[in-house]
Amino acid sequence: MKKNLFEMGPDFKEGWTSDNKHTKKHDNNDDIRPPEKHRLHIAKEKRRGKTVTVVKPFFLSKTELRELLKRLKKRLGTGGTFKDDTLEFQGEVSQTLRQELETMGYRFKQ
């Protein structure tokens, strides 16, 4: 049987794979910045009828981000969590959150 000259697609014998589960994940640990170099953005979102204040992007290690979240939750008197490079706080606390972060040296986009 002759080889089809018009066959399209990659030749899987040459190291190609059709599985995309082995892609390299982006890791922000090597891009850690001091607070003065951050340009943060605050947004309010509605989730299940409740307001959530979101601040991103942070360029900190997970332990530093966890400590910052703990300090801010104590100062604001509210609950919150962190996901990847964002901090999420329960309620509409954008003004006080912005003031607290600015006193710590963080900067915001205009």
**CA distances (Å), 7 to each of 4, 14, 19, in order?**
6, 16, 20
Peptide bond into 10 cis (omega under 30): no
Cα(94)–Cα(48) distance, integer angstroms = 19
**CA distances (Å), 12 to each of 4, 9, 16, 38, 67, in order?**
16, 9, 5, 44, 47
Check residues 11 and 33 and name the one with the higher pLDDT.
33
Q: What is the tens place of the pLDDT at every residue in 75-104?
A: 999 999 999 889 999 999 999 999 999 999
Is residue 100 included in any domain, yes or no?
yes
Is residue 102 included in any domain, yes or no?
yes
The CATH number that applies at residue 44 is 3.30.780.10
Per-residue pLDDT, 28: 47
- Provide, rounded to the nearest whole percent, the portion of the chain with pLDDT above 70: 73
CB-CB neighbours of 38 under 10 Å: 19
Indicate the average pLDDT of the chain.
83
Least confident of 30-34, 47-51, 102-106: 30-34
Instruction: Provide the domain count of the chain.
Output: 1
